[in-house]
Structure 1
């Protein structure tokens, strides 16, 4: 049997706490705040606190064969066309991964996808593509795998998080 992200679905509170526990265990500095449920970036942006962070959109894809999975992270105020993304990623035909695949590899449900889902990918199967502009952003904002809260972290702290998570990642010009 292949490794999976989680054997049973976790509650949103428990998913959030797992993110905080991981960040704390690795000495990664962050702040966070709660807000009403925000299952889309458009809704989440309504709750921004003028915190100076760039809020990130995260999309989960699979390749045509279904044997490779990708998390794509970029500015929440931007849009991506899948066909354009296919050209930029050079991974063949892409489609959105199913809810079952999202649960299996990231331990997440739709509406709460974030780069923090990588902590649940114990096999480090999911490859992360980050928009190259993210290198210029001083601060990021993500859901902590629960769309009722936002975590803020500085660029260097996010890079430390990626190293601790262990998944492959790369910066690419996405739009």
Structure 2
């Protein structure tokens, strides 16, 4: 048995019948490049991410490492759009940093890229200690010191 699809009286497509709740998709019906989304092809999506950079590919794998990976494919598409917008090198560096801290969130990567300024020159070997201003309600360590019994007795005698 088969399912026939007509446009008016003209036969457009014929699909073999599938079980109830299933679907039949012909990748040739989609434009080139769009068949990945139609087929929910996770492997080719990860391959596209790896073309942008090693860490971008690892980040995409981590995003799709769930029981139903096609539910998170849009996040990988967003990651690939970031590569187009900010450049592969910047996204690669941010993904490397995010993976080092186990942050797997595309929105966070987006915020990091938008907040990032041009890379500064590496710091010199000279390190300085910077004293911070005393907080408004800070107390000295003597305030928290406990009095010993001998010190308390001498104060009471005086």
Normalising TM by the smaller chain, what interval? under 0.3
TM-score by length of 1: 0.22
- Larger radius of gyration between Structure 1 and Structure 2: 2
Structure number having the greater helix percentage: 2
What's the TM-score, normalizing by structure 2? Answer: 0.24
Which has a greater percent of strand? 1
